[in-house]
Chains A and B, each alone.
Chain A
Amino acid sequence: DVKVTQSSRYLVKRTGEKVFLECVQDMDHENMFWYRQDPGLGLRLIYFSYDVKMKEKGDIPEGYSVSREKKERFSLILESASTNQTSMYLCASSPLLGTSSGANVLTFGAGSRLTVL
């Protein structure tokens, strides 16, 4: 069964702390995404990556950075956490378009709920 695993389901951090959210997929997907989910706002794209060491900003990249050193792992980094970054963070992956019939479909992890105090 295909799988996207987010290492932390719940985190509580303090303002100013550096926070790492880890995501691992076992499907050999090229694309990986980090979304932020807030009530009434749906999912907003923070960053995505289409290959190792490649990354592109999404719609709300401010205050975040990412790292993709290996194909299966995509990390989201909050350099200095702030209270307005309290949210649910969702990682997703997908194959390159055109490589398979499922190429348009994102597979999501269970989410990481971050609270910044």
Chain B
Amino acid sequence: AQSVAQPEDQVNVAEGNPLTVKCTYSVSGNPYLFWYVQYPNRGLQFLLKYITGDNLVKGSYGFEAEFNKSQTSFHLKKPSALVSDSALYFCAVRERGSGNTGKLIFGQGTTLQVKP
């Protein structure tokens, strides 16, 4: 079965420190991978995606993610965290066989807390 796992419910980091939010996936073939962020009382916002090409993908707000095929991972990273990065982060993979719809399967979400 196709799936996405975010092993940490919450990640705590001090402002200015690097942050990593972990994501692993299980899908046959080449995956299309995504990260979204949700601020309180808001919908999800797209951060970045990996379709093909370089394993390091750069996205919005200084975030980047590294695709690792051998470890089936797509961890989200940022070199220096900001308090304003505190939010709920979702990893997602495009469902294989979803035709033209591009349906996504989402992980359970990781709450990032950045403390001053």
Contacts and interface: CB of A to CB of B under 8 A. Distances in A.
Interface residues of A, number: 30
A103 interface: yes
Q: For chain B, give the interface size range.
A: 20 to 34
Contacts, number: 68
A90 B100 CA distance: 21
A12 interface: no
A40 B9 CA distance: 8
Nearest to B108: A42
Contact of A90 (B43, B99, B107, B108): B43
Nearest to A45: B103
For the complex, would chain B's binding face be called helix, strand, loop or mixed by DSSP majority? Answer: loop
Given A31-B102, A97-B102, A41 B42 contact: no
B43 A4 contact: yes
B42 A104 contact: no
B106 A43 contact: yes
Given A41-B108, A104-B34, A110-B43, A98 B49 contact: no
A42 B109 contact: yes
Nearest to A103: B102
Interface in A89-110: 90, 92, 94, 96-98, 103-110
Closest 7 CB pairs of A and B: A108-B43, A42-B108, A43-B106, A108-B44, A42-B106, A110-B43, A96-B100
